Amino acid sequence: MYLVIDNIKVNLKSKEILNNVTFKVKRGEVVGILGKNGVGKSTLLKYIAKLLPNKGKVYLSNKDLHKISNKKLAKKLSYVSQTQNGGFLSVYETLLLGRKPYFSFSPSKEDIKKVEQIIEKLNLKDIQNKKTNELSGGELQKVMIAKELVKQSEILLFDEPTNNLDIKNQIEILDYIKETTKKNNLITLIIIHDINLSLKYCDKFMMIKDKKIIYEGDESIITPSTLKEIYEIDAKICIYKERKVVIY
Ligand SMILES: Nc1ncnc2c1ncn2[C@@H]1O[C@H](COP(=O)(O)OP(=O)(O)OP(=O)(O)O)[C@@H](O)[C@H]1O
């Protein structure tokens, strides 16, 4: 079963941002989206998450996800944006809110169990009673990722999920995202600027330029020449412990 994006076109304020974007992602795969600032990476994720005026042509098992109710879509798909705002709810309450698509008035034992599991897994115990507007940027980012992960949806969309995190937290979050994608056969799309991190965690890559995906495939598409074309940089690639590493 695949997530299929079929020839989408996105205009924002009458400017064409994406045109002729088509791809499919297999279950169990983490796909890294690469490209320069402003090429439309976030726009692509927002489109899939049904957050833009343009809609349609996003299929999961032949079903157009934009034609199901928002409540059903909220269960199927999780989206974490690039910027986060805290509020007056505590971390614990915020995580419970992540389970909201599954309950009407009060959370079930199952919802509470899932929240406690993610607190444990992502080491959030020390901050669970803090209000989210009293967290550091990195803590807040981690909580907002956890809030989406606790939903256990089939499709995970992350827009630079680790940009505020220290290296230990980056590894912890990306390890968990990869582990849960494999274990639960999810579909994960992740915008990531650190190419070496993307090489460590992504199974496939999409490179965006000129409003479309110009390269798509496994790590073999990450080469000095594609990096030059995408980012206009001179990079070298070496192999360290059987892993491809990009040197800028
Ligand atoms: N609400 C909007 N209205 C009009 N134009 C927009 C809007 N949001 C984004 N854009 C424009 O769309 C283009 C793509 O933006 P997008 O945020 O998708 O880029 P990106 O590749 O995610 O960039 P970055 O790496 O900097 O996050 C940019 O030129 C941006 O100015």
Report the helix count and the strand count for the chain, using DSSP H and E: 8, 12
Complex confidence, ipTM: 0.97
Judged against a pLDDT cut of 90, whether residue 134 lies above it is answered with yes
CA distance 130 to 138: 14
**Mean pLDDT, the chain, integer:** 95
pLDDT for res 84: 86
- 104-123 mean pLDDT: 95
- Categorize the per-residue pLDDT at 133 as very low, low, confident or very high, splitting at 50, 70 and 90: very high
- Categorize the per-residue pLDDT at 92 as very low, low, confident or very high, splitting at 50, 70 and 90: very high
162 close to 191: Cβ distance less than 8 angstroms: no
pLDDT for res 35: 97
For 154, the token pair is 């089939």
pLDDT for res 26: 95
Question: Which residue's CA lies nearest to atom 3 of ligand 1?
Answer: 12
Is the pTM value of this prediction over 0.90?
Answer: yes
User: What's the pLDDT tens digit per position in 15-61?
Assistant: 999 999 999 999 999 999 999 999 999 999 999 999 999 888 999 98
- Categorize the per-residue pLDDT at 81 as very low, low, confident or very high, splitting at 50, 70 and 90: very high
Helix axes 137-149, 91-98, angle to 10 degrees: 30
Q: Which residues is 79 bridged to in the sheet? A: 157
User: Is the CB of residue 46 below 6 angstroms from any atom belonging to ligand 1?
Assistant: no
Q: How many angstroms is it from 41 CA to the middle of ligand 1?
A: 8
pLDDT for res 15: 95
Q: Which residues is 245 bridged to in the sheet? A: 238
Strand 187-191 relative to strand 29-34, pairing: parallel
Question: Which residue's CA lies nearest to atom 30 of ligand 1?
Answer: 38
111 contact partners, CB below 8 Å, separation of at least 6: 96, 99, 102, 103
User: Is the CB of residue 14 below 6 angstroms from any atom belonging to ligand 1?
Assistant: no
pLDDT for res 54: 86
User: What's the pLDDT tens digit per position in 158-190?
Assistant: 999 999 899 999 999 999 999 999 999 999 999
Judged against a pLDDT cut of 90, whether residue 1 lies above it is answered with no
CA distances from 213 to 65, 160, 229, 235, 248 (A): 21, 18, 12, 21, 23
For 86, the token pair is 């805290």
User: Is the CB of residue 40 below 6 angstroms from any atom belonging to ligand 1?
Assistant: yes
Percent of the chain with pLDDT over 70: 100
